Amino acid sequence: MSILRLTGTFFGLHLRSWAVLAIGMLIVLTAYRSVSDLSKRVTLLGNARLKL
């Protein structure tokens, strides 16, 4: 029983750490996407201004 309990807590901590890592990766990906979209918009605006 003690071994099962130890593995259960270990896996619980592992799942928690994986969840935190996944959430962090999602936040980073969304931030990177928004920044890239903003840079694309800025470049598009710059190109439009140069054309005009």
Which residues have a Cβ under 8 Å from the Cβ of 5 and sit 6 or more positions away? none
Could you report the per-residue pLDDT of 8-51, keeping only the tens digit for each? 666 666 777 878 888 999 999 999 999 988 888 888 888 888 77
Q: Which residue has the tokens 């598009």?
A: 44
Q: What's the CA gap between 45 and 37, in Å, rounded?
A: 12
pTM for the whole structure:
0.53
Angle at CA 19, nearest 5°, toward 28 and 16? 140
Note the pLDDT of residue 47: 82
CA 47 to chain centre: 30
